[in-house]
């Protein structure tokens, strides 16, 4: 009789369990359905069973390799998304376009080599974008366009060798640009006009070539207080 009663109790627990409620794991790290800290849990993809009302999602220290819109579409209220220190190599173009309220996006310390223009589309409130310590080699025109509220862009500690014209255009609020510790050797004179519209530009620890190609930019830079060289 005792065994039958135990089976009945187990059955009741199963049928009374709240529908769609995930088991122990990332859900347990959510506070008031607002902040979720799924940190160092060995995750290989963005969890799909979190409260859809969350505004802060921290996923650093996992094994996530890619980011797509289909994984983020459930979390439209996100204001801060941290996928720092993962294994991300691929970001689907428009992956974040379903997050119109996003203000901070941290993708630092991953293995991203290329960013397709349009990757950061439809982010009207984004203020802080971090892509430091990846393996990015160049910045294509339009990569960061149409980010009207962006104030800080971190690209230091990558493998950037070339910055193409239009790479940082249409960023009216940008006040800090970090390009230090890359592989830049020369910048065109036209880059000065773009950089002087930014309050702080960090370009130190690059293997600059001291030749005639760099001279016009260097002369103007020496007369400016805006560059951290």
pLDDT more than 70, % of the chain: 80
How wide is the angle at C-alpha 57 spanned by C-alphas 51 and 58, nearest 5°?
A: 135
Work out the burial of residue 168: count CB atoms within 10 Å of its CB; fewer than 13 is exposed, 13-18 middle, 19 or more buried. buried
In Å, what is the CA distance from 54 to each residue of 41, 51, 66, 107, 108? 19, 6, 21, 19, 22
Nearest Cα neighbor of 84 from 110, 104, 63 is 110
Residue that wins the pLDDT comparison between 183 and 223: 183
**Range of lowest pLDDT (68-77, 123-132, 189-198):** 189-198
Q: What confidence score (pLDDT) does residue 200 get?
A: 94
Q: Is the same domain home to 208 and 117?
A: yes
Q: Is the same domain home to 104 and 117?
A: no
Structure confidence by residue, pLDDT tens digits, 30-39 = 877 799 999 9
Domain count, the chain: 2
- Whether 11 is in a domain gets the answer no
- Whether 60 is in a domain gets the answer yes
Q: Is the same domain home to 97 and 146?
A: no
Tell me the average pLDDT across 117-142. 95
Residue that wins the pLDDT comparison between 170 and 103: 103
CB 77 within 8 A of CB 101: yes
- What is the rounded average pLDDT for all residues in the chain? 85
- Report the alpha-carbon distance of residue 227 to residue 221 in Å, rounded: 7
- Whether 38 is in a domain gets the answer yes
- Whether 16 is in a domain gets the answer no
- Report the alpha-carbon distance of residue 73 to residue 57 in Å, rounded: 13
Structure confidence by residue, pLDDT tens digits, 65-103 = 999 999 999 999 999 999 999 999 999 999 999 999 999
What CATH number has the domain bearing residue 82? 3.80.10.10
- Two structure tokens written together for 37: 């800290």
Residue 198 has pLDDT above 70, yes or no: yes
- Binned at pLDDT 50, 70 and 90, residue 164 comes out as confident
Q: What confidence score (pLDDT) does residue 172 get?
A: 93
Tell me the average pLDDT across 99-125. 96
Q: What confidence score (pLDDT) does residue 221 get?
A: 61
- Binned at pLDDT 50, 70 and 90, residue 152 comes out as very high
Q: Is the same domain home to 146 and 187?
A: yes
Structural domain boundaries, residue 210: 112-121+134-150+158-221
Q: Is the same domain home to 105 and 164?
A: no
- Report the alpha-carbon distance of residue 207 to residue 48 in Å, rounded: 43
- Whether 53 is in a domain gets the answer yes
Tell me the average pLDDT across 166-178. 91
Q: Is the same domain home to 116 and 193?
A: yes
Tell me the average pLDDT across 138-166. 92
CB 178 within 8 A of CB 132: yes
């Amino acid at each position: 009789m005792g065994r039958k009663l135990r089976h009945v109790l187990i059955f009741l627990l199963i049928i009374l369990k709240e529908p769609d409620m995930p088991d122990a794991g990332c859900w347990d790290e959510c506070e008031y359905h607002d902040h979720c800290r799924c940190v160092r849990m060995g995750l290989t993809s963005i969890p799909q069973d979190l409260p859809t009302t969350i505004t802060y999602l921290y996923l650093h220290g996992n094994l996530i390799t890619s980011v797509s819109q289909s994984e983020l579409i459930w979390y439209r209220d996100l204001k801060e998304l941290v996928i720092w220190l993962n294994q991300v190599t691929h970001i689907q173009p428009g992956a974040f376009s379903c997050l119109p309220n996003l203000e901070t996006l941290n993708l630092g310390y991953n293995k991203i080599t290329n960013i397709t223009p349009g990757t950061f589309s439809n982010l009207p409130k984004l203020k802080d974008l971090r892509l430091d310590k990846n393996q990015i080699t160049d910045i294509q025109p339009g990569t960061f366009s149409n980010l009207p509220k962006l104030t800080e862009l971190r690209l230091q500690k990558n493998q950037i060798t070339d910055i193409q014209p239009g790479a940082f255009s249409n960023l009216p609020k940008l006040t800090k640009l970090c390009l230090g510790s890359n592989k830049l050797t020369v910048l065109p004179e036209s880059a000065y006009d773009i950089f002087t519209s930014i309050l702080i530009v960090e370009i130190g620890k690059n293997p600059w070539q001291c030749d005639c190609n760099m001279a016009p930019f260097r002369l103007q830079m020496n007369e400016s207080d805006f560059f951290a060289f």
